[in-house]
Structure 1
Amino acid sequence: MGSIDHRAGGQWDGGHRPVGPGGPWLISPPQDENGHTLLDEDIAAEAETFMFEGGHELPGATGQEPLVSPHSPNVPIGHDTTASGLAWLFYNLAGHPEHQERCRQEVQELLAGRDTADIEWEDLSQMPFTTMCIKESLRLHPPVTAVSRRCTEDIPLRDGRVIPKGVICLMSIYGTHHNPDLWPEPEVFNPLRFSPENSKGRSPSSFIPFSAGPRNCIGQSFAMAEMKVVVALTLSRFVLRRDTARPPPRRKPELILRAENGLWLLLEPLLGVA
């Protein structure tokens, strides 16, 4: 995505550009992983990997088949976001074997001798610790790091400035999830943040991996269910370990959260599992 040079202070001009003593704010063109500037059609094509459209094309997209309506029984969702979420989840579990083992035991006790292929929809609500691990991974590594919204009314800020109606605001999901005022020790992977007792009194806007409000991700329930199933199938067969021969991953500033050179894990088959 493009980067924003945030300079304190300033007002907005008629074109809704921040100007004045602290401005302007500079927004660089969005670029791909190779540093090439993305055209509008490139951005639209990339956005289609994680956004829903109600039976019509994204603005700027040409020559594309319309996406299926979200009311259809066969609703497409972004494969890139789910892949990113799962990759970072497995990386986090591999780095915390005690949490990984607790998830594995939870799945094994839930299935009680049944094959993982027989997992039922009702089973997914009986995986509380696994759900906490998924949520904590989505907090630490949200697949979509920012979203934009157009203001439908003037919004007064605490410092007295006003964001005028019609302005498009870019909201950082990653920044919110790493705000130490909301999340003590934000860089630590701690699934117990999402235990019922620790979640009491927490603003729902502090955890927004699927955005929030009436325009949040329509596929979030399916995405959570999908991740639970994949985790159950994987941990029932393998032990995940990090490849210590490789350096810690570095985040790449793209639409979807990725790691430079990928995330490398070692999969060790569980004893006694065919």
Structure 2
Amino acid sequence: MSSFMSAAIAPKDKFYSFLKPWLGDGLLLSAGDKWSRHRRMLTPAFHFNILKPYMKIFNDSVNIMHAKWQRLASEGSARLDMFEHISLMTLDSLQKCVFSFDSNCQEKSSEYIAAILELSALVVKRHQHLLLHLDFLYYLTPDGRRFRRACRLVHDFTDAVIQERRRTLPSQGVDDVLQAKANSKTLDFIDVLLLSKDEDGKELSDEDIRAEADTFMFEGHDTTASGLSWLLYHLAKHPEYQERCRQEVQELLKDREPKEIEWDDLAQLPFLTMCVKESLRLHPPVPAVSRHCTQDIALPDGRVIPKGVICLISVFGTHHNPAVWPDPEVYDPFRFDPENSKERSPLAFIPFSAGPRNCIGQAFAMAEMKVVLALTLLRFRVLLDHTEPLRKPELVMRAEGGLWLRVEPRR
């Protein structure tokens, strides 16, 4: 395990507890029966029938970002911090998918979006100062008060949407709602949560719905932005792969106007998909995960991890292990050619974690990344900046001082 990974990320209990006041008991932080019940209830929210209409949102959100890039690059090329631009775009996208709310946050500042960005930054900052790990001390500091205020703002926004929907839902039966909504193709995450029932016909409480919606907003923006930023960096570094992806997209969309990526297109981009996966291997957005062992675990060499221990699994370490991945530092999309993947363990590549608590949103994330990459390469050439980005593992894999690249509009 690479030493900087294990040092940079605390075991689940401490680190994740800082997120609790914000994210409540959502899938990321809950455990036991509550987690299993919620996971079962939320699984349908990520069924491809629900995800399909989100494709329009992904296209629209990336179009807004690209219009901004065109303006900035109108004199030639623009030097951009990918993290900054893409995080705003993924937040814009999520707000539309989760709440059907358009805050226009890519064009003008949104209080709600600013609060989410502030909360993420404050959690990382708090983690780096041991004294601030104590709640009573933390909430006496200016940062602690800022955290409380931002939490309140985010919760008020989510609560208001839930209340508004509760008022409009009961007037119709559940099936009517599904029918009416399905026809207009706008069943958002809040709708699905409000309509879901467990085996005993019990619904989620408002508090539960808020926790899941806030968790999805948090989990879904930074991770995807990290994945995309590093992906564009790798393709800027390897123009031959960038060009091959671009040709694949051009071929797919050649007779189509407007140029939009649809659900069925996602399976028609094999090389682009290989490039996405190889980037997720080299720069996994979540560099490590931790698990609390509920029983003794015997390792192949005979040693035993005792029950009750917290295990840190280094996703980064696994993806860079030369015994599993020869020449691990080399960016080579052909590792993910189906022919070359046959013999490989399914646990060699775990950007979305693995097992029952793996990422519930992975199909959502992969779809969004492919749409963004395809349209970006269609419209821009992505070029290296003179500064080499340095990995900076925080909540997600970031780059020290931002990840700067140049974009040049294609004729």
SS of match in other structure, 1:236: helix
**Which of the two has greater strand per residue?**
1
Deviates more, 1:229-238 or 1:148-157: 148-157
2:410 matched residue in structure 1: 270
> What code does the residue aligned with 1:164 have?
P
Shift of 1:253: 2.9
Partners of 1:121 and 1:242 in 2: CA distance: 31
> What code does the residue aligned with 1:237 have?
R
1:116–1:236 contact (8 Å) kept in structure 2 = no
Partners of 1:28 and 1:264 in 2: CA distance: 23
**Which of the two has greater helix per residue?**
2
2:9–2:288 contact (8 Å) kept in structure 1 = no
1:38–1:149 distance in 2 versus 1, CA, 3 Å: closer
SS of match in other structure, 1:180: coil
2:346 matched residue in structure 1: 204
Structure number with greater CO (CA < 8 Å, separation at least 6) is: 2
1:148–1:83 distance in 2 versus 1, CA, 3 Å: same
Describe the superposition over 1:232-253 as per-residue Cα deviations: whole angstroms up to 9, x where unpaired. Answer: 1101100000012x2x111113
1:178 matched residue in structure 2: 320
**2:390 is aligned with 1:250:** yes
1:123–1:38 distance in 2 versus 1, CA, 3 Å: closer
Identify the match of residue 270 of structure 2 among 113, 128, 133. Answer: 128
1:153–1:164 contact (8 Å) kept in structure 2 = yes
1:50–1:78 contact (8 Å) kept in structure 2 = no
Deviates more, 1:128-137 or 1:68-77: 68-77
Partners of 2:27 and 2:229 in 1: CA distance: 16
Deviates more, 1:46-55 or 1:257-266: 46-55
1:49–1:81 contact (8 Å) kept in structure 2 = no
Partners of 2:276 and 2:378 in 1: CA distance: 16
1:221–1:38 distance in 2 versus 1, CA, 3 Å: closer
Shift of 1:156: 1.6
Describe the superposition over 1:199-232 as per-residue Cα deviations: whole angstroms up to 9, x where unpaired. Answer: 0110000000000011100000110000000011
TM-score normalized with structure 2 length = 0.52
Runs of 5+ unmatched residues, structure 1: 7-26, 31-36
Describe the superposition over 1:21-60 as per-residue Cα deviations: whole angstroms up to 9, x where unpaired. Answer: xxxxxx7885xxxxxx9794357659999948749xxxx9
Partners of 1:49 and 1:92 in 2: CA distance: 34
**2:18 is aligned with 1:41:** yes
Runs of 5+ unmatched residues, structure 2: 31-37, 42-134, 136-147, 163-188, 196-211
Describe the superposition over 1:147-199 as per-residue Cα deviations: whole angstroms up to 9, x where unpaired. Answer: 11122221122443311122221100000000001100000100000001110
SS of match in other structure, 1:176: helix
1:140–1:189 contact (8 Å) kept in structure 2 = yes
Deviates more, 1:205-214 or 1:145-154: 145-154
2:310 matched residue in structure 1: 168
1:94–1:242 contact (8 Å) kept in structure 2 = yes
1:213 matched residue in structure 2: 355
Partners of 1:48 and 1:126 in 2: CA distance: 38
1:16 matched residue in structure 2: none
1:219–1:39 distance in 2 versus 1, CA, 3 Å: closer
Pairs within 5 Å for 1:1-274: 30=10, 40-42=17-19, 45=22, 51=28, 54=38, 64=155, 72=193, 76=216, 77-115=219-257, 117-244=259-386, 246=387, 248-271=388-411
Partners of 1:141 and 1:191 in 2: CA distance: 13
2:288–2:316 contact (8 Å) kept in structure 1 = yes
SS of match in other structure, 1:262: coil
Deviates more, 1:112-121 or 1:194-203: 112-121
Shift of 1:120: 1.2
2:8–2:394 contact (8 Å) kept in structure 1 = no
2:228–2:369 contact (8 Å) kept in structure 1 = yes
> What code does the residue aligned with 2:322 have?
P
TM-score normalized with structure 1 length = 0.75
> What code does the residue aligned with 1:41 have?
F
Partners of 2:5 and 2:249 in 1: CA distance: 46
1:233–1:183 distance in 2 versus 1, CA, 3 Å: same
Partners of 1:48 and 1:102 in 2: CA distance: 44
Aligned residues: 238
Shift of 1:78: 1.6
Shift of 1:94: 0.4
